[in-house]
Amino acid sequence: MFSGGQDSTTCLYWAKKRFKEVYALSFVYGQKHELEVELARRIASKAGVPFEVKNVEFISELSTGCSLTDNSIPMDSDKPAESYPNTFVPGRNMFFLSIAAVYAREHDIMNIVTGVSQTDFSGYPDCRDSFIRSLNVTLNLAMDEQFVIHTPLMWINKAETWKMADELGIFDVIRHETLTCYNGIPGDGCGHCPACKLRRQGLEEYLSQKKLGNN
Ligand code: ZN
């Protein structure tokens, strides 16, 4: 599952290192930034993997109030105390993974890789390990298959994700070509949305650790 962001691009190269054949599957769900898909296509082509986009816009039609898909809603910059930030798209990863599993079955693929992380995120329930494991069992039962959902970033933070990218030799690809910013600006992004802040904090932390390690 590949969006062209920092996490899924790191996972794309993680997968390339482990598996002979890798397919990148992207989803359009009414997110404001279609540029995201274009950048994803470019990265996949550079990585030499087939790239496909599935249109799942119905996801954003099902629920209202998400700032990622509705331009009229200002984005929460912090996590509200009692609920999820309005960047939460209910059911998103459930739909994505279910579609990815059917796609995988069609292509005789058993290993599905996703960049979700429980460590450094806004508290989205569909990024948690328990959800992923549960859905993995459900998908196997639903299709009588033995899919394995891999989550290389589940227990690591953003600084460690930068480290992983560096070890995979794609630090510059991640730094300059991926899009994580909620305001649709590639690379270092707008600098002030929650995604940019998280990404930059992780980068600074990783670079200072690296510097200490080198001295
Ligand atoms: Zn931003």
Q: What is the pLDDT of residue 139?
A: 98
Q: What does the pLDDT look like over 130-179, one tens digit per residue? A: 999 999 999 999 999 999 999 999 999 999 999 999 999 999 999 999 99
- On the question of pLDDT at 196 being above 70, the answer is yes
CB 8 within 8 A of CB 37: no
- On the question of pLDDT at 28 being above 70, the answer is yes
Ligand 1 centroid–CA 46 distance in Å is: 24
Q: Are strands 51-55 and 24-28 parallel, antiparallel or unpaired?
A: parallel
The angle at the Cα of 167, spanning 136 to 8, to the nearest 5 degrees, equals 35
Higher per-residue pLDDT: 84 or 185? 185
Q: Compute the average pLDDT of residues 41-63.
A: 92
Ligand 1 centroid–CA 186 distance in Å is: 9
Q: What is the pLDDT of residue 177?
A: 96
Q: What does the pLDDT look like over 112-135, one tens digit per residue? A: 999 999 986 567 899 999 999 999
Confidence (pTM): 0.90
CB 118 within 8 A of CB 155: yes
Ligand 1 centroid–CA 54 distance in Å is: 25
CB 52 within 8 A of CB 24: yes
CB 194 within 8 A of CB 78: yes
Kindly tell me the burial class for residue 188, based on how many C-beta atoms sit within 10 Å of its own C-beta (0-12, 13-18, 19 or more): middle
Q: What is the pLDDT of residue 12?
A: 98
Ligand 1 centroid–CA 10 distance in Å is: 19
CA 6, CA 29: separation in Å to the nearest integer? 19
- On the question of pLDDT at 73 being above 90, the answer is no
If phi > 0 it is left, if psi is from -120 to 50 it is alpha, else beta; for residue 2 that is beta
